[in-house]
Structure 1
């Protein structure tokens, strides 16, 4: 299928939405590979004898790989286009996922997961740019909300499948789940995706660096870093908390986490649609930060008191702590433009994944020494700091 670089190229509405679907599938498959190992923690801890901190470090291996390569994949997307990057990255991730499943030792497993994360990072900027490139501003928030639901959906799929397979068949068998998901996504991308149009590449050298004009992008990056802490704390330890602290069976806990992730996916769509309606990405972003702070504080309190309400608040927290991602991602892409958005989105996600990589081992230490309730309550401080940093006054009118 040919790549489109002609600014005047047009596609049908159905084709535009099919490319959104393919981009969402690619990101979801990559999310299963990036975040699925978090659901290996109970087996790594109980059967392999690893401490929570060490099991968290193994689970963080893919996100470390993602963190180190996001900007490189973004730069390659700026240069070579979205379709090339998606296909290359998904193919490599499938191979490395198979290597992880066949590794047979914890050291080899961690290395293979690290490399799989490094290649899965290809989908972050490229799939987002397909959406930004093919949808107009007044529909872009909704479309990006659909695409951003890929991450919680991927985590939900991982919670149901990886947790259950790992419990029944072991750590290595469970890793065939993300491997097969990436293979399916590769085929769909090859059939459906066409690069969106953009201006003549010869004008790229004249486009100024968006980071030099103001602190708008830097502030969004900082806000996203702060908000990723409660998000990854809940993602990583909700299952373990339900199993170890609340006494749930792994299958039941995985099902609840999966359902919460579906709620998070719908929440991202709702947040994107709201941003289209109010004509702002950043005002809803601030509202989400304030709501996340309130919910995490309440979760910490109720978990400490042993109330059943804590389980419901965990579900609410799962929804709220992911609702900001699409808003920030879209705002960054819109401000940085077609010749810088790959790198800007790479920086955005690198900062997030750097933080995300630190959350499992650090939070594991906090849980070990202070308990789950304290970890949940401490996480509420991060969105409190984030809310006033959102650069609402500097946002341009959507057009």
Structure 2
């Protein structure tokens, strides 16, 4: 159910870039349209920590169901409004509501799974982000704006009802302890380094997710539907990469060791994509697909490391802060890189994403597990 709820929420939160060609056809510039599709993330930023604190205090089931249900209702309203300002306001509100599933579903993993299983379990949960993007990649480009928003609303409402019926909160006494026992985990720099590394690694992830389709359309002459199908396949590869990364971290007994290796791999692949965008023949499409797979692979590892280090008494808030930093970068990625693409081109945009992944290798702590 965590996967189902996250998939519905992520299809909306992170799948709206597939509306970019239609929004541009309506007369918006790339920068304006990119800002509009980032609006849900701005709403998310305002509420993630609050949702996490509510989950710490009252449990996960009610928090997830309430948030997803609220997002679905607001998205239905967004499907009938006119004008970019009204649409943007609705998207901000829906994103604020959908933040519940991001903060609380990770806490469920901490409560129900032991340390030797938690990486794979969180990897399964984190599959939802690329799966949600894959659903959006297939469906959103072929629907009208109103039809796409109605489809996304239906997914949120259906999974909210299922979560309310199926999910059972873990007993608080059953949750495994964190690396700091009952103490304040912010007294050491480990969480802050995890936050920083996670935020840096979101930049290449959303550079590819936001501009992959429009790059294929603008630079390679693909039609939006075909490009969406290719990126949907890549998103399923990204889901598998998250599973494998979680399994690897369980076997290695470390979240941050695999995270550093995958961050370095992401930097290399994004550098190849930048070279392909600059005109190196035969590189661009292959590198884009590879980047769509590997750039999402570290997300579950960073969430698991944060939850484990914080412990059950702090996990909801810690994950909320972690998600706030990541989604803050995600929200800025679309408008900032939209401007970079407009004035400097795709090679510079993708090269900057490669640099962020390289810096994340250094920022990621060597050890962050109890």
Displacement after TM superposition at 1:199 (Å)? 2.9
Aligned residues: 365
CA distance in 2, matches of 1:243, 1:301: 18
Contact 1:36-1:178 at 8 Å conserved across structures = no
Are the structure 2 counterparts of residues 396 and 34 from structure 1 closer, same or farther at C-alpha, using a change threshold of 3 Å?
Answer: closer
CA distance in 1, matches of 2:28, 2:280: 27
The aligned counterpart of 2:178 is none
The aligned counterpart of 2:369 is 396
The aligned counterpart of 1:272 is 246
1:308-336 deviation line (CA, Å, top 9, x unaligned) = 32101111101111111100000100111
1:173-225 deviation line (CA, Å, top 9, x unaligned) = 21112101111211221221000111399xxxx9332102x100000000011
1:8-33 deviation line (CA, Å, top 9, x unaligned) = xxxxxxxxxxxxxx011101100011
The aligned counterpart of 1:172 is 146
CA distance in 1, matches of 2:269, 2:363: 19
Matched, 1:31 2:10: yes
Contact 1:100-1:113 at 8 Å conserved across structures = yes
Alignment of 1:1-399 (within 5 A): 22-45=1-24, 47-165=25-143, 170-199=144-173, 207-212=182-187, 214-392=188-366, 394-397=367-370
Contact 1:296-1:379 at 8 Å conserved across structures = yes
CA distance in 1, matches of 2:121, 2:88: 35
Query: What SS does the aligned partner of 1:175 have?
Result: helix
Are the structure 2 counterparts of residues 200 and 316 from structure 1 closer, same or farther at C-alpha, using a change threshold of 3 Å?
Answer: closer
Query: What SS does the aligned partner of 1:380 have?
Result: helix
Contact 2:275-2:283 at 8 Å conserved across structures = no
Contact 1:295-1:317 at 8 Å conserved across structures = yes
The aligned counterpart of 1:18 is none
**Is the deviation greater in 97-106 or in 279-288?**
97-106
Q: TM-score, normalised by structure 2?
A: 0.96
Query: What SS does the aligned partner of 2:81 have?
Result: coil
Are the structure 2 counterparts of residues 307 and 74 from structure 1 closer, same or farther at C-alpha, using a change threshold of 3 Å?
Answer: same
Contact 1:292-1:317 at 8 Å conserved across structures = yes
Displacement after TM superposition at 1:108 (Å)? 1.0
Q: TM-score, normalised by structure 1?
A: 0.89
1:83-120 deviation line (CA, Å, top 9, x unaligned) = 11011111101101101111122211110000000000
1:102-151 deviation line (CA, Å, top 9, x unaligned) = 11222111100000000000001211111221111111111110100100
The aligned counterpart of 1:10 is none
CA distance in 2, matches of 1:367, 1:56: 11
Query: What SS does the aligned partner of 1:322 have?
Result: coil
Structure 1 unaligned residues grouped into runs of 5+:
1-21
CA distance in 1, matches of 2:270, 2:232: 19
Contact 2:13-2:40 at 8 Å conserved across structures = yes
CA distance in 1, matches of 2:360, 2:61: 34
Query: What SS does the aligned partner of 2:278 have?
Result: helix
Query: What SS does the aligned partner of 1:395 have?
Result: coil
CA distance in 2, matches of 1:156, 1:325: 17
Misfit runs of 4+, over 6 Å: none
Displacement after TM superposition at 1:276 (Å)? 0.5
Query: What SS does the aligned partner of 1:199 have?
Result: helix
CA distance in 1, matches of 2:280, 2:365: 38
